[in-house]
């Protein structure tokens, strides 16, 4: 009953972040990308309506709101991004609210105009960069099948000069053995903040998982080596934060709750991953920016987002004694560092947003065991927390 009450009160799930899929096209054809490439792009009317929608559900908002730009490659529509930022800032000023902006980009299309737009609107950048040339080019190719590293390499000095840049390194089984050397190379280029993201839907075998264990240990060594240089490997901080925070196993993430995504035609989805995985399907849509949320469909995804409602994967790499008898996520010791919270990925891999795939447990065991092992020199009371 408590869980039902949590979900039924949609007023407690205030939308704070809206991701605009300003284009579904891209200048690259990365092999692991989950977004279908189409020439569709968002028009100005839809973009303005999306901004209006965000503010309409936050008439009195003491917190800062955020608009994210995603694609495809959002810099293909830099003019629209500039317009949206100006429009949203004017709107925020009229009602005394605050607005911030973020963008996920492949950093291969930074024109002088694009650089000015990023600086003027203080757009936080998440840059997709997988490592050194031979690693980056393994999966991140142009439309003609050529490597894209030489394009992004030109943008590195610009990225280094920005105040808010996070490098998102996508990790495939084939690139795990070079994760540490790639990170070191990027650090030496002047980049400071990193997030590593293993592709859960990839084909992970024993060799790839073994290299991943080595790579995860290497993250801790690199963080220690460069701790006085301002380098931050977000994966380590995230684990420490999750393990050391109060044991609140509520919602897995903000999808459908505090965030939503808008496809190029104005449909609303729980997050941007739903748009890509399900090819703009109306089945996963939770409304549109013209008519608002479909409350029942939104509630269904919020219900799935509750950890207590997630069924558990029931499998793993090591001893099954770590799996609780009832096989529910909220009673699993690994839940706090597990990817089970991604309801988009869950639905894509298993057909059910509340049921994670087996690989989640394998990867979370690697994360947890590595963290404990690398912290093993600490006193027992501080073994998991700095």
Domain regions of the chain by residue span: 15-244, 310-386
Highest mean pLDDT among 7-11, 224-228, 334-338: 224-228
Q: Tell how strand 65-70 and strand 287-288 pair up.
A: unpaired
pLDDT reported for residue 360: 86
The pLDDT value given to residue 322: 55
Mean pLDDT for the stretch of residues 188-195: 97
* pTM of the predicted protein model: 0.91
Task: Identify the pLDDT of residue 320.
Answer: 57
- The pLDDT mean for the chain works out to 89
Q: Which of 10-19, 108-117, 221-230, 279-288 is predicted with the least confidence, judged by mean pLDDT?
A: 10-19
Q: Taking 50 as the threshold, does the pLDDT of residue 78 lie above it? A: yes
Distance in angstroms between the alpha carbons of the first and the last residue of the chain: 37
Nearest to 361 by CA among 313, 320, 324, 322: 313
**Residue 329: per-residue pLDDT:** 80
Residue 195 has pLDDT above 80, yes or no: yes
- Average confidence (pLDDT) over 203-208: 94
Options 3.30.1370.60, 3.20.20.70, 1.10.10.10, 3.30.9.10; CATH for 15-244 is 3.20.20.70
Of the candidates 38, 43, 46, the one whose C-alpha atom is nearest the C-alpha of residue 18 is 46
User: For residue 293, what is the enclosing H or E element?
Assistant: strand 292-293
Average pLDDT over residues 122-128: 98
């Amino acid at each position: 009953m408590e869980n039902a009450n949590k979900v039924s009160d949609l007023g407690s799930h205030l939308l704070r972040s809206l991701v605009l899929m300003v284009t579904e096209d891209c200048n690259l054809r990365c092999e692991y990308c989950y977004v279908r490439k189409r020439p569709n792009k968002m028009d100005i009317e839809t973009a303005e309506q999306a901004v209006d929608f965000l503010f309409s559900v936050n008439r009195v908002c003491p917190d800062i709101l955020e608009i994210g730009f995603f694609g495809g490659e959002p810099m293909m529509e830099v003019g629209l991004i500039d317009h949206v930022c100006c429009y949203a800032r004017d709107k925020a000023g009229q009602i005394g609210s605050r607005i911030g902006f973020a963008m996920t980009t492949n950093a291969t299309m930074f024109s002088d105009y694009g650089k000015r737009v990023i600086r003027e609107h203080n757009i936080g950048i998440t840059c997709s960069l997988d490592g050194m040339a031979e690693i980056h080019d393994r999966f991140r190719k142009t439309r003609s099948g050529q490597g894209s590293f030489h394009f992004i390499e030109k943008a590195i000095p610009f990225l280094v000069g920005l105040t808010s840049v996070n490098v998102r390194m996508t990790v495939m089984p084939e690139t795990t053995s070079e994760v540490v050397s790639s990170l070191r190379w990027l650090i030496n280029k002047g980049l400071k903040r990193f997030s590593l993201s293993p592709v859960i839907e990839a084909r992970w075998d024993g060799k790839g998982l073994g290299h991943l264990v080595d790579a995860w240990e290497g993250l801790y060594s690199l963080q220690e080596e460069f701790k006085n240089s301002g380098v931050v490997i977000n994966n380590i901080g995230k684990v420490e934060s999750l393990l050391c925070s109060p044991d609140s196993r509520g919602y897995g993430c903000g999808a459908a709750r505090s965030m939503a995504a808008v496809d190029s035609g104005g449909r609303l989805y729980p997050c941007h991953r739903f748009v890509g995985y399900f090819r703009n399907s109306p089945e996963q849509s939770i409304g549109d920016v013209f008519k608002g949320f479909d409350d029942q469909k939104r509630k269904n995804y919020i219900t799935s987002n509750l950890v207590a409602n997630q069924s558990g994967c029931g499998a793993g790499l090591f001893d099954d004694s770590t799996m609780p008898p009832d096989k529910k996520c909220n009673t699993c010791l690994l839940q706090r560092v597990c990817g089970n919270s991604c309801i988009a990925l869950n639905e894509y891999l298993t057909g059910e947003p509340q049921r994670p795939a087996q690989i989640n447990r394998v990867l979370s065991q690697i994360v947890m065991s590595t963290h404990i092992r690398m912290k093993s020199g600490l006193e027992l009371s501080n073994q998991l927390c700095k």
